Homo-oligomer: A and B are copies of this chain.
């Protein structure tokens, strides 16, 4: 195809106004037995002082040499920037696009939402720790009012997580390297937001063990009462990603 054609096309396309495109992140972790989300306190209007999902603009690139980044790359970059951690292998999946006019009062912004899971061992290192930080974890059971349409996005992300809990290796992302049956069960309970029968969950656990997904790990976890056996995830996958780019 000719450069002329490309130029003509671009001119035509530019007649239509373009939206800004951002990625928003719903970062979950397990803290204090609760499923928690990372939120940022907004320092500027609109919604000044309210809490919002972390996120930022997708880098598009304006030259032939700079093609810009993919949506998932943008999400991973934002995740690294917001948490201050190197998280190349974090679990990340796209939730969907949110683009209602008026969702941002300033201008038309279409946001691609991603859900990420942060291992609980890393979670305390962001927010809550440094007092100067405007980022902190919020338990799903006690969320503040959210800016923009972020409550909708968070809700969709939670549904996404729930839907994939049993068909994906999600739960193992929210548990220490070695974990007990009860610890994994508490992750399931936090994601599903309902109690699970300990005995029945044990059988589910057994099946995972029989399938080779889980194997025993050395040592015991000292609990308030009876010490519990330890297991670890034996999956070769380092954390899957989703359909889009």
Contact = CB atoms under 8 A, between A and B. Distances in A.
Interface stretch (A65-73, A195-203, A232-240): A65-73
Copies of this chain, how many? 2
Interface residues of A, number: 49
A13 B96 CA distance: 23
A183 B62 CA distance: 52
Majority SS at the chain A contact face: loop
A96 B100 CA distance: 15
Interface string A107-129: 11010100000000000000000
B16 A18 contact: no
A21 B20 CA distance: 9
A110 B71 contact: yes
A59 B95 CA distance: 23
Interface of A: 1, 5-6, 9-10, 13, 16-21, 44-46, 57-62, 67-71, 94-103, 105-108, 110, 112, 152, 156, 159, 242-245
18 contacts: A9-B107, A13-B57, A17-B61, A18-B18, A18-B20, A19-B21, A19-B58, A60-B108, A67-B102, A67-B108, A68-B101, A68-B108, A70-B101, A71-B99, A96-B243, A100-B245, A110-B110, A159-B243
